[in-house]
Amino acid sequence: MMNHFLSCLRASAFICGSVFWLAASSPAEAEQFSADVVVYGSTPGGVCAAIAAARDGAKVVLVEPTDHVGGVNTGGLSFSDSNQTVRDAHGSLFNEFHERMEADYARRGVKLDYSVAVKDQAKWTYEPHVAMQVTQAMLQEAGVRVVTEQPLAKVVKQGGRIVEIVAKSGNVFAAKTFIDAGYEGDLMAAAGVSWTIGREGRSEYGESLAGRQYPKRPMAISGLDAEGKPLPLITAVEPVREAKESAPEDQLGDKNVMVYSFRLCLTDQPQNRVPFPKPAKYDPARFEAVRRYYKADPKALLAWDLYPLPGGKFDANNGIGKQFSMGIVGGGNAWCEADEAGRREIWEAHKQYTLELYQFLTTDEAVPQPLREQLAKLGLCKDEFALYDHWSPQLYVREGRRMLGEYVLTQDDILTNRTKPDSIAVCSFPIDSHDCRRVARGDQQVVNEGTIFPKRVRGTRQGPAYQVPYRAITPKAGECDNLLVPTALSSTHVAYSSVRVEPSWMTIGQASGIAAALAAKLDVKVQDLPYAELAAKLQAQKQVLDHPATKGSVEVE
C-alpha cells in the first residue's frame, strides 16, 4: 500500500512555529481549532495563502488532508515553469521561495546555473528536499499552524457562511474566512458552491480551443486487437477521418480532464541511485499499442521528459509532445469525485502503470536499444522521499474541479481582453493542455486528443500576460460569503490550461491569503471586500497588480 495514504498508521511530524505537531488524531482525541483564516490544502497556493495571511496579522491554520505538505512543489516538480512566464510579474512569495533555495545552495557551495535576481528565461531547478526545507521554514517563521492528515468530512454553514469544517479525524476548524487551496476543490464543493469539471464546448464561451483538439500527428498503427476491440491504453474508438476532417462532436464538451502523472526525482549517480521497484504485476500485453508505435516509428523519442536538476538528478515528467508517456490518459477522470478509498485506488493505479511502463521501456525489444539503455541507467534517489520508499507522495493533479464564481476566466481573458479593474495578480503561462483521450480510428490510426500545445507570444517563450480578477476567486453572491478559491478558481478548461501551474497558483494564493485576512478583519463578505483597501494590502506585500506586458495586443503562435 502506498505510504502517502497510510499516514493513519503512523504519526507524521511537522514543525510549525513553536509547535511540534503530531497529526493523525483519533476521534477520541479530537480538538477544536479557531482562527481568523483556515486554509484547506497545503498546495503551493495554499502555503502562500497561509503565509500571506499570517504576515498580515491573521491567526492562520493550514489544514492538509494527507501527510504531505507542499503539493507538487515539494513532491517532485523541480523544474519551475516560470521560464515560460513574465517572471518579474510574479508575487513576492514566489520569488522568496526561489531566493531561499538559491541561498541554501550557496551556503553549501553549490553553484546553480541561474540567478533568481535575473528575470530571464533560464530554467530554475531545485531538489525536492530543498523545496521542503524552505517551505517548512517559511511556514514556521510566519507562525502558521499546520495540521496534517485531516481529510474533510463535512462543512457546517449558517446562512451563507461557513462556520466550521470537520475532518474525518473529528477535529473541528472554525474561522472567520476560509480558503480552499486544494487541487480538487473539495471544500468548495462541500460548501455548496457551483463548480464544473472537464471541457466546455466551443460555443459555450466562444473559445476556439474548446471542445476536442487534435494537434498531434496521428500514429499509423492499429489501436485494435485481433477481435476488433480497443487495446489497453486506448480510451475511445472513432471512424477513420481524412487528415483535416472535423466531426460535429468535436465542437462539444465532455467530462475528461488532462492526464495525471507523477513527477519523479531520478538519478544515474551510483552512490545515490535506488533501483526502480519491480511492479507488483507486469503484463507486456498492456503496452501493445506502445510496441506498435515504436515498431512503426524508428525515430521515436524516449517516452519520458527528463529535466536536469542540481545534485546529479532529473525531474521526470509526462511529455506533452510525446505519443505515450508517464501519464495514464483518462486515468484521472474519476479522481476529484472519488472518496479516499477511490483516490487511493487511482493513486496506486498510476504508480503501477509507471512501474510497468519503466519495465517495458527498459526490457522490451520493440523499444530502440539506446532508449532502453538510457532509461535503465536511472533510478530513484536515496536522499529524496525517504518516508515514502523514495517515491513521490504527490500525484500531479493537473486539473480538477473548477469553481463557477462571480467571474469565469475564458480564452478571451488570456489572449485578448487581458486587463481587469479588480486585478489581484498577473499571470502569463501559455495556454497548454496535456492529452485528454487516446482514440483508435478504425484499424489504421491512433491519435491523442485534447492536447493544446503552448500558445506563446510570437517570438518569445512566454505566454501572454493577463490580470486575474478578484471575482475569479470568489463564489457567486449568496452561495458562500466567506470562502475564497485560488487553485480551483473560476475558469473554463482552456483558461485553466494557462492558470494551472505553480507560479500562477502561488501568486494567486498569496493574493487570496491577503484578501482572506482583510475580510476577516473587516468582518465583510468576501464579495463585498473594498477593492481599494485590498489593492493597498496586496501592494504592501509586493504583489504585482499591473504590468506593461498586459497592455496592447499580442499575437500568439
- What is the rounded CA–CA span in Å between residue 127 and residue 264? 11
- What is the rounded CA–CA span in Å between residue 533 and residue 352? 50
For the chain, what is the mean pLDDT?
Answer: 94
pLDDT in tens, 155-199: 999 999 999 999 999 999 999 999 999 999 999 999 999 999 999
Q: Is the pLDDT of residue 64 over 50?
A: yes
pLDDT in tens, 231-287: 999 999 999 887 677 899 999 999 999 999 999 999 999 999 999 999 999 999 999
Average pLDDT, stretch 339-344? 95
Grid cell 471542445 in the structure block, residue: 211
* Terminal-residue alpha carbon distance, the chain: 45
- What is the rounded CA–CA span in Å between residue 392 and residue 363? 24
Which cell numbers hold the place of 391? 517515491
CB under 8 Å to 522, separation ≥6 — which residues? Answer: 529, 530, 533
pLDDT in tens, 6-56: 333 333 344 333 333 434 444 457 899 999 999 999 999 999 999 999 999
Alpha carbon separation from 140 to 22, 62, 150, 166, 436 (Å, rounded): 15, 11, 19, 24, 39
Contact 133, 141 (CB under 8 A): no
pLDDT of residue 246: 85
CB under 8 Å to 143, separation ≥6 — which residues? Answer: 17, 54, 60
Which cell numbers hold the place of 215? 494537434
pLDDT of residue 20: 35
Average pLDDT, stretch 322-347? 97
How far does Cα 540 stand from its chain's mean position? 28
Which cell numbers hold the place of 480? 458562500
- What is the rounded CA–CA span in Å between residue 302 and residue 311? 22
- What is the rounded CA–CA span in Å between residue 310 and residue 114? 11
Paired residues of 155 in beta bridges: 165
Paired residues of 178 in beta bridges: 38, 483
Amino acid at 177: T
> Going by DSSP bridges, is the β-strand pair 60-63/145-147 parallel, antiparallel, or unpaired?
parallel
Amino acid at 205: Y
Cα torsion angle, 488, 54, 396, 304, sign: positive
- What is the rounded CA–CA span in Å between residue 336 and residue 389? 26
- What is the rounded CA–CA span in Å between residue 225 and residue 367? 20
CB under 8 Å to 238, separation ≥6 — which residues? Answer: 247, 439, 440, 441
Average pLDDT, stretch 361-389? 97
Contact 494, 399 (CB under 8 A): no
Contact 331, 92 (CB under 8 A): no
- What is the rounded CA–CA span in Å between residue 190 and residue 155? 6
Helical H segments across 297-401, by residue range: 340-363, 369-376
- What is the rounded CA–CA span in Å between residue 478 and residue 159? 9
pLDDT of residue 22: 39
Q: Is the pLDDT of residue 545 over 90?
A: yes
Which cell numbers hold the place of 188? 468548495
Find the helix or strand (DSSP H, E) in which 146 lies.
strand 145-147
Amino acid at 407: Y
pLDDT in tens, 398-452: 999 999 999 999 999 999 999 999 999 999 999 999 999 999 998 999 999 999 9
pLDDT of residue 148: 97
Q: Which of 145, 146, 155, 158 is nearest to 187 (CA)?
A: 155
Average pLDDT, stretch 119-135? 97
pLDDT of residue 298: 79
Contact 49, 92 (CB under 8 A): no
Q: Is the pLDDT of residue 347 over 60?
A: yes
Phi, psi of 364 (to 5 degrees): -80, 135
- What is the rounded CA–CA span in Å between residue 489 and residue 409? 9
pTM of the model: 0.95
pLDDT of residue 2: 39
Domains of the chain are: 3-23+31-197+460-550 (3.50.50.60)
pLDDT tier for residue 1 given thresholds of 50, 70 and 90? very low
